[in-house]
Structure 1
Amino acid sequence: MSRTTDLALAALAPAIWGSSYIVTTQMLPDGYPLTVAMLRALPTGIFLMLIARRLPPRAWLGKLAVLGALNFSIFWGALFLAAYRLPGGVAATLGAVQPLIVLLLARALLGGTLHLRGVIAAIAGIFGVALLVLDPSARLDSIGIIAALGGAVSMACGVVLTRKWQPPVPALTFTAWQLTAGGLLLLPFAMTFEPALPPFTTPHIAGFLWLGLIGAALTYFFWFRGIERLGPAAITRFGFLSPLTAVLLGWLILGETLGPAQLAGALIVILCMAFGGAPAPRRAFSG
């Protein structure tokens, strides 16, 4: 499969993740961040395990616990907590620091080259996301801010370590192991700190199915496959697609308006993804 196809499939993952905002707020019960995260991860991981038909070796259990926690337990728990406590624009802007963190961690942990072009694109992308989604009058919440930043750091660490700790198994199997580990780690916290869910309605069921089968199983298979084939630095810029998709869905489905600032932000985000992915110049710095 060509590099272009690998890039396209990796980009599809955060584009679909952008739907999480509207699904969470419009289709899921309010106030259950840990339970929602657990129900997104654990059933999906078990489903993929049944398809892969391969259990992880005992020597890998520790690493899978770390990866499951970083990529799913901590990240998703923080993501849903931030979504409940912050306006979507604030949460998305804070989460947009993730590509920059990935570049720095990839340099530190994988020994890759830190190119000035990629760093500039990552910083400019944060500004573009802010223009795209941030409302100057947005309400700020300290717990929500900590959750959003913590989630960004958690996923950035998970992305880099997923490449560093790459087992000799297909990407689907590796995805199944991580989702299951993340869901199992979330289970006791969800049961301890959150009340029982209300009876499910049809929108609730549809929302969980979308977040689990499409927003987790399919997209994380594409995402981890991209990390394996292309490396973290090559795909992390696609994370900007998530807030872009969220804004477009809000415009198409909820009738939200797009002003000049949002359009300028969208253009900056698109240019940053293209600029950050262009062939790197010879000049680089080691940080």
Structure 2
Amino acid sequence: MSRSLDTLLAASAPAIWGSTYIVTTQMLPAGYPLTDAVLRALPAGLLLLAITRELPERAWLGRIAILGALNFAIFWSALFVAAYRLPGGVAATLGAVQPLIVLLLARLALGTPLTALSLFAALAGIGGVALLILSPASDLDTVGVLAALTSAVSMGFGVVLTRKWRPGGSALAFTSWQLVAGGLLLLPLAAILEPALPALTALNVAGFVWLGLIGGALTYFFWFRGIERLGPAAVTGFGFLSPLSAVLLGWLILGEALSPPQMLGAMIVLGSVWLSNRAARSLPAAGAISGRTAHRAAGCPA
């Protein structure tokens, strides 16, 4: 498959994730963030597991649990805390530091070159997201700020370690293992901290199906596959497409107005994604890793 198609599929994941806010607020019961996360991860992971019929080797269970925690359990939990305690613009802008974190971690853990263009693209993307959704009246909450930064750091580590810790098996199976691990880690938290769900309507069910099958199984398969084939530095800039998609869906579906600063922010975000992709294309191919780094990235146990 061509790099262009790999890039398109990887970019589609965060663009679809941008629908999470509107689906959650318009289609799901209110007040069940952890339960929503469990129902997004666990059924999708079990379905993919049933399709692939591939289980990880026992030696990999610990690493799969860590990846499930970083990419799903910690990431989603902290994200929901931030969403409840901060205005959406503040939470999204703080979360937009994730590409910068990934670039630095990829340099340290994988030896990926850190270029001025990739750094500029990451900083421009943060600025674009701030223009897109940050309000001058936004209030800061210490716990919310820490939660937003925790979610960004967790996902950043998850992206890099997904590339570094690549066990045998298909990308689809690798996705299923992480979804199941993340869902199982979230399950006791949801059971302890939240009441039982009310009787679900057809709209609720449709929302869970969208978030689980499309926003969970399919998009995370594209995302992890992109990390494997293109490398973390190549895919991380696509994360800026998520807040952009959320704003555009609010404009198209909910009739929310777009101000001139928001339109400028949208153009900056698109420009930063293009620059990030261009910077990544100048790096060695994701698979062109030699020596001990290649041994680790291939998923060989230490």
Q: TM-score per shorter chain, which class?
A: over 0.9
**Displacement of 1:279:** 4.5
Whole-angstrom distance in 2 between the partners of 1:138 and 1:4: 39
Alignment of 1:79-228 (within 5 A): 79-228=79-228
Change (3 A) 1:174 1:281: closer
Alpha-carbon contact 1:31-1:84 (below 8 Å) kept: no
* SS of 2:139 mapped into structure 1: coil
Deviations 1:190-231 (A, max 9, x none): 111111122212221111111100001000000000000010
Alignment match, 1:51: 51
1:22 maps to what in 2? 22
Contact preservation (8 Å) 2:110, 2:164: yes
Structure 1 SS opposite 2:54: coil
Given that 2:234 and 2:281 are in contact with CA atoms closer than 8 Å, whether structure 1 keeps it comes out as no
For the residue of structure 2 that corresponds to 1:136, the secondary structure is coil
* Whole-angstrom distance in 2 between the partners of 1:140 and 1:201: 36
In structure 2, the partner of 1:253 is 253
CA distance, structure 1, for counterparts of residue 52 and residue 282 of structure 2: 42
Aligned partner of residue 182 in structure 1, secondary structure: helix
Per-residue CA deviations over 1:136-193 (Å, capped at 9, x if unaligned) read 1123333322221111110000000000001121110000000000001111111111
Deviation at 1:86, TM superposition (A): 2.5
Divergent runs of 4+, >4 A: 279-283
Q: Using the TM superposition, give the Cα deviation of residue 282 of structure 1 relative to its aligned residue in structure 2, in angstroms.
A: 8.3
> Who is 2:275 aligned against?
275
Residue identity in the other structure for 2:46: I
Q: Structure 1's 282 and 13: CA in aligned 2 closer, same or farther, altered over 3 A?
A: closer
Determine what percentage of the aligned residue pairs are the same residue. 69
- Equivalents in 2 of 1:53, 1:280: separation in Å? 34
Q: Rate the CA distance shift 1:57–1:205 in 2: closer, same or farther, 3 A.
A: same
2:61 is equivalent to residue 61 of structure 1: yes
Scaled by the length of structure 2, what TM-score is found? 0.91
Task: Show the counterpart of 2:9.
Answer: 9
Aligned equivalents of 1:63 and 1:180: distance in 2? 13
More divergent stretch after superposition (156-165 vs 26-35)? 26-35
Q: Is the CA contact (8 Å cut-off) linking 2:118 and 2:279 kept in structure 1?
A: no
Separation (CA, whole Å) in 1 of partners of 2:24 and 2:201: 14
Q: What is the number of residues matched between the two proteins? A: 283
SS at 1:258's partner residue?
coil
Task: For residue 45 of structure 2, give the secondary structure of its aligned residue in structure 1.
Answer: helix
| RMSD of aligned alpha carbons | 1.5
Amino acid at match of 2:111: G
Contact 2:82/2:148 (8 A) holds in 1 = yes
Change in 2 beyond 3 A, CA 1:164/1:281:
closer
Q: Is the 8 A contact 1:100 1:122 kept in 2?
A: yes
> Partners of 1:140 and 1:238 in 2: how far apart?
26
Tell me the distance in 2 between the aligned counterparts of 1:146 and 1:8: 32
Name the SS for the 2:56 alignment partner: coil
Q: Residue 229 of structure 2 corresponds to which residue in structure 1?
A: 229
Q: Deviations over 1:62-105 (max 9, x none)?
A: 00000000000011112223223322222211110000000000
CA distance in 2 between counterparts of 1:198 and 1:139 reads 32
| Structure 1, gaps ≥5 residues long | none
SS in 1 for 2:256: coil
Name stretches of at least 5 consecutive residues in structure 2 with no aligned partner.
Answer: 284-302
**In 1, are the aligned partners of 2:115 and 2:279 still within 8 Å (CA)?**
no
In the alignment, residue 40 of structure 1 is paired with which amino acid? R
Deviation digits for residues 236-275 of structure 1 (CA, Å, limit 9, x no counterpart): 0000000000000000111111111001000111111111
